[in-house]
Chain A
Amino acid sequence: MNTSTSTVIDAHKVSRTFNPETIPVLAVDDVHLHLERGEFTALVGPSGSGKTTLLNLLGGLDKPDKGIIHINGVDITKLPANKLIDFRLHNIGFVFQSFNLIPVLTAKENVELIMQLQHRKKTEIAERVKILFHQIGLEDKVNTRPAQLSGGQQQRVAVARALASKPQFVLADEPTANLDSKSAANLLDVMAKLNVEEKITFIFSTHDARVIERARRVITLVDGQIHSDTARVETNVPHEVDKLKL
């Protein structure tokens, strides 16, 4: 097991079975995964391949039946439920497919919420909000409610919220699934920029070729197992991914 200081995620022999007593479904099967700080990784595979389940396991939203997951050196599979929530708050950022933001709060309040949960000082919160909205390019939308934002803008605010807690990494579950090409490109630009400039680790589960194109590492899941794991510098679609006809 690699436990170097730059290791963010180290998952070892992780399995997750649903309905073990009725019709067992092996969603994640004996997965080994190692992610370093600053990676921009896409988790791809056909529907039902176990992408979202693996993402949930890595994010501490679900617990594996077998195996261990270390996040920044902490075995999250051993953490009790309440500690796990606290761990997520301070270490993991989440961007979901849709319905990401709380509708009654403004964009700014949605981002502030995470820091309020962390009991940060008001001045610190205000400063961080300013930086984050600058980074996502929505300085003029801070006081806008989610319903008045486009889908792309909402996802950018969601990215800002995910980053508000200064997490170890950001998990994004199909972040571009409901976006048009232009909005998806904008969102990816924002995330790629944050990855390069701020060294923020991003892991996506996706079907979207636009996301896969931008990823520097592509992990392909088939039937809950890692089928291929390709690291690359160029922005071409990896051969293995092409084969799966995503």
Chain B
Amino acid sequence: MWLLKFSWKNMWRNRNRTAISMAAIFFAVILAVLTSSLQEGVFDNLVKNVVSFYSGYIQVHKQGYWNERILDNTFESTTLLENKILQQANVKAVAPRVESFALASSNEFTKGCMVVGISPESENSITNLSSKLVAGNYLNDNDLGVLVGQGLAKRLRINIQDTIVLIGQGFHGAMAAGKYMVAGILKFGSPDLNNQVLFLALPTAQTLYSAEGMLTSYVLSLENPSLLRETAQHIQATIGSNYEAMTWEEMMPEVIQHINTDKGSMLIIQGILYLLICFGILGTLLMMMVERKYEMGMMVAIGMKKKTLMQLLMFESIMTVFSGCILGIIFSIPIVYYLYVYPIQFTGEFAKAYADFGFEPIFPTSIEASIFIKQGLIILVLSLLLALYPIVKVARLNPVKAMKK
């Protein structure tokens, strides 16, 4: 107990030095938490944007569909299966789809396109499709019209109320052909979607492809996206091996690759930040050792074991570092929360590029508790490792040399 009391007194022997050390740790924690939470927030937002564009967080297909995306790999739509999926914890909404390809023709032009049969209401609850409508009306459940991507409409030189003809191959090699009126034009951020997608009401699409009652996928949105893998595993276990429950990560590995590359770059930046912090803390430790060299020599001379002196210095370091870390975490919470509620907004060309891509032009933060804990712990561990420096010096301390003036 006396050693703790002694450490506490030592900690405040040079208030400025202690304040500098604590401030270095305090700002280090705030900066580390902020960069990490911004990084996580931006990635979460990116995933939210990508997922809500089209894929959803999880999709259920017939086993093998994702490797060979043809209509022959469809499955029968049943209320039982849909309910099984919907009843899973964390599943927010389910939307059925039939997806295939067709040749789209207007009066003068023809272009290959992706045809998606959707349940308009369910689809809207997941991808917010109606918000992408720039002209015309959204579909209803038994609509005979089509929604066309803006790029595709431009290519075919069609507008609302115009007619579009679709020709393709249906279920089990059947001929698929139909003539539809353009009900609306959609604008997507993704050029791929914008230039080639076309939506039909589900029954209309099933009729086109002679696949009545058949689906290529169920698209799912989740209450808590962080439980993505666990949810997919539960669904897979419930629906059995005739189906595949795939996460967006499995369906779009390129997005994960992009995030990982970005995280790698961020790690280098964080590494530099940690390095600067380490130099700051080490500077104060060096000052402290020089200032107290005589005293440490004297304490060993009068009979303080080096082990006790090391404990004394360790307690001092722990108290300083811990105070800095705790204060840093406490102060970073409102800052991160503020930026979560009022995210940093891009402006100018950058914002336009984001908006064109259909992404929100914002830098949101993530308020995951693990970020605060992880960054606090990293700084704590780094600081404590640095605190080993005085301990090593004490281990090598020669009282006679230390007390030489």
| Known pairs A61-B399, A117-B308; A102 contacts B299 (CB<8 A) | yes
Asked if residues A56 and B303 are in contact (CB atoms below 8 Å), the reply is no
Chain A to chain B contacts (Cβ below 8 Å), 17 pairs:
A56-B400, A85-B304, A85-B305, A86-B303, A88-B301, A89-B302, A89-B304, A94-B298, A96-B301, A99-B298, A102-B295, A103-B13, A112-B2, A114-B302, A114-B303, A117-B305, A162-B302
Q: Which residues of A contact B403 (CB under 8 A)?
A: 96
Name the contact of A104 in the complex, choosing from B2, B13, B399 (C-beta under 8 A): B13
Asked if residues A105 and B304 are in contact (CB atoms below 8 Å), the reply is no
User: A239 vs B45: C-alpha distance in the bound complex, in angstroms?
Assistant: 93
Q: How far is the CB of B15 from chain A (nearest CB, A)?
A: 11
| Known pairs A96-B403, A104-B10; A59 contacts B304 (CB<8 A) | no
User: A220 vs B29: C-alpha distance in the bound complex, in angstroms?
Assistant: 61
User: A236 vs B32: C-alpha distance in the bound complex, in angstroms?
Assistant: 72
Q: What is the interface of chain A, defined by CB distance below 8 A to chain B?
A: 56, 59, 61-62, 82, 85-86, 88-90, 94, 96, 99-100, 102-105, 112-114, 116-118, 161-162, 165
Asked if residues A116 and B9 are in contact (CB atoms below 8 Å), the reply is no
Interface of B is mostly: helix
Interface centre among B9, B12, B295, B301 (most CB of A within 10 A): B301
Q: How far is the CB of B301 from chain A (nearest CB, A)?
A: 6
Is B6 interfacial (CB 8 A cutoff)? yes
Asked if residues A86 and B305 are in contact (CB atoms below 8 Å), the reply is yes
Is B300 interfacial (CB 8 A cutoff)? yes
Q: Which residues of B contact A103 (CB under 8 A)?
A: 13, 295
Q: What 7 additional pairs, Cβ within 8 angstroms, besides A86-B303, A88-B303?
A: A61-B301, A61-B399, A85-B306, A103-B13, A103-B295, A104-B6, A113-B304
Q: Which residues of A contact B243 (CB under 8 A)?
A: none
Name the contact of B303 in the complex, choosing from A90, A96, A100, A105 (C-beta under 8 A): A90
Asked if residues A59 and B301 are in contact (CB atoms below 8 Å), the reply is yes
Asked if residues A94 and B302 are in contact (CB atoms below 8 Å), the reply is yes
Looking across the interface, which residue of chain A has its beta carbon closest to that of B399?
A61
Asked if residues B302 and A105 are in contact (CB atoms below 8 Å), the reply is no
Asked if residues A104 and B9 are in contact (CB atoms below 8 Å), the reply is yes
User: A90 vs B400: C-alpha distance in the bound complex, in angstroms?
Assistant: 19
User: A104 vs B17: C-alpha distance in the bound complex, in angstroms?
Assistant: 15
Give the residues from 19 to 56 in chain B that come closer than 8 angstroms, CB to CB, to chain A.
none
Looking across the interface, which residue of chain B has its beta carbon closest to that of A56?
B400
Looking across the interface, which residue of chain A has its beta carbon closest to that of B298?
A96
Asked if residues A100 and B298 are in contact (CB atoms below 8 Å), the reply is yes
Q: How far is the CB of A132 from chain B (nearest CB, A)?
A: 15
Q: How far is the CB of A27 from chain B (nearest CB, A)?
A: 11
Q: Which 10 A-B pairs have the closest CB atoms?
A: A89-B303, A104-B9, A104-B13, A88-B303, A116-B2, A61-B400, A62-B400, A94-B302, A85-B305, A61-B399
Q: How far is the CB of A81 from chain B (nearest CB, A)?
A: 8
Looking across the interface, which residue of chain B has its beta carbon closest to that of A89?
B303
Q: Which residues of B contact A104 (CB under 8 A)?
A: 6, 9-10, 12-13
User: A113 vs B302: C-alpha distance in the bound complex, in angstroms?
Assistant: 10
Is B363 interfacial (CB 8 A cutoff)? no
User: A117 vs B306: C-alpha distance in the bound complex, in angstroms?
Assistant: 12
| Known pairs A61-B400, A99-B294; A105 contacts B9 (CB<8 A) | yes
Q: Which residues of B contact A117 (CB under 8 A)?
A: 303-305, 308
Q: How far is the CB of A95 from chain B (nearest CB, A)?
A: 10
User: A102 vs B294: C-alpha distance in the bound complex, in angstroms?
Assistant: 10
Looking across the interface, which residue of chain B has its beta carbon closest to that of A91?
B303
User: A116 vs B3: C-alpha distance in the bound complex, in angstroms?
Assistant: 9
Q: Which residues of A contact B295 (CB under 8 A)?
A: 99, 102-103
